[in-house]
Amino acid sequence: MKEAIMVKVEKLNKSFGDLHVLKDIDMTVREREVVCLIGASGSGKSTLLRCLNFLEIKNSGKIFIGGEQIEEHTHDLNQIRAKVGMVFQHFHLFPHMTVIENIMEAPVHVKKIPKDQAYEEAKELLAKVGLSDKANVYPGKLSGGQKQRVAIARSLAMKPEVMLFDEPTSALDPELVGEVLVTMKKLAQEGMTMIVVTHEMGFAREVADSVIYMHDGRIVEVGHPDQLFHTPTQKRTKDFLDSVL
């Protein structure tokens, strides 16, 4: 029995000026699935992710979220974005708000949820990412790993249907990577649909249901991590894996 399709991309193309960054991307992500995007920097992984959240607007192709085709001109992108959570490499917490205010911001001001309800939900999310004691601290006082966990909680507060992670551990000191990956694993086990751009091959191998290798704006190979990491069918995939593993 297969889950319903959560995200579907057909013949997606994106250029920045003369630079053709995404070339005819086709991709399907089902509910509860964890998909990892791997590839060298400049291969288009992050751009693909940003197109799915409409932070970049595609040049051509189709994007479906939750079975519905999203047209940038006709859809309220704010509503769509609220359904698609995004975690950034550099966290982008709001430095002038406390941790709990960061998490409550969008539920209160976008979804218009009553403050005390938003507060309770934010508390629960903080407990979930293991930072209950940091509710009233400003982001400047947190370590990178803690910041990223707050960013995850902030994103979850909008109750997204799918979460996008853009190299969530790349800006972290090595000893802080683990705590963020543990949080993400927990999320995956709870059945969150996740698309993760990552250089953490260990995480991809352990958690991903499918791994996509991208090179030069194209999807070169898609497969279950066991298959893709051990018996890649494409030479370019094998070369890339040899260089990073």
Partner 1 sequence: MDWFNKLIDTYPVFLKGMLLTFELTVVAIMIGIIIGLFFAFLKISKINILVWLSDAYIFLVRGTPLIVQIFVFYYGLTSLNMSQFMAVVLGLAFHNGAYIAEIFRGSIQSIDHGQMEAGRSLGMSVSLTYRRIILPQALRRAMPPLGNQFIIALKDSSLAAFIGMYELFNVATTFGSNTFDYLTYLLIVAVYYLVLVFLISLLARYAENRLAISD
Helix axes 115-128, 144-156, angle to 10 degrees: 130
Q: From the list 3, 16, 67, 110, which residue makes contact with partner 1 (rule: CB under 8 A)? A: 110
CA angle 165, 168, 169 (to 5 degrees): 155
Q: Is residue 222 a contact point for partner 1 (CB under 8 A)?
A: no
Q: Is residue 85 a contact point for partner 1 (CB under 8 A)?
A: yes
Quote the tokens at residue 136: 């009233």
Q: Is residue 136 a contact point for partner 1 (CB under 8 A)?
A: no
Task: List residues bridging with 16 in a β-sheet.
Answer: 19
Helix (H, G, I), strand (E, B) or coil at 94: coil
Min. distance of Cβ 78 from partner 1 in angstroms? Answer: 5
Min. distance of Cβ 81 from partner 1 in angstroms? Answer: 5
Q: From the list 40, 70, 97, 182, which residue makes contact with partner 1 (rule: CB under 8 A)? A: 97
Helix (H, G, I), strand (E, B) or coil at 214: strand
Closest to 212 measured CA to CA, from 32, 12, 63, 43: 43
Residue ranges in 153-192 that form contacts with partner 1 under rule CB under 8 A = 154-155, 158
Min. distance of Cβ 101 from partner 1 in angstroms? Answer: 10
Min. distance of Cβ 31 from partner 1 in angstroms? Answer: 21
In which order are the strands placed within the sheet that holds 34-38? 84-87, 162-166, 193-197, 34-38, 210-215, 218-223
Residue ranges in contact with partner 1 by CB under 8 A: 53, 55, 78-79, 81-82, 84-86, 88, 90, 92-98, 105-106, 109-111, 138, 140, 154-155, 158
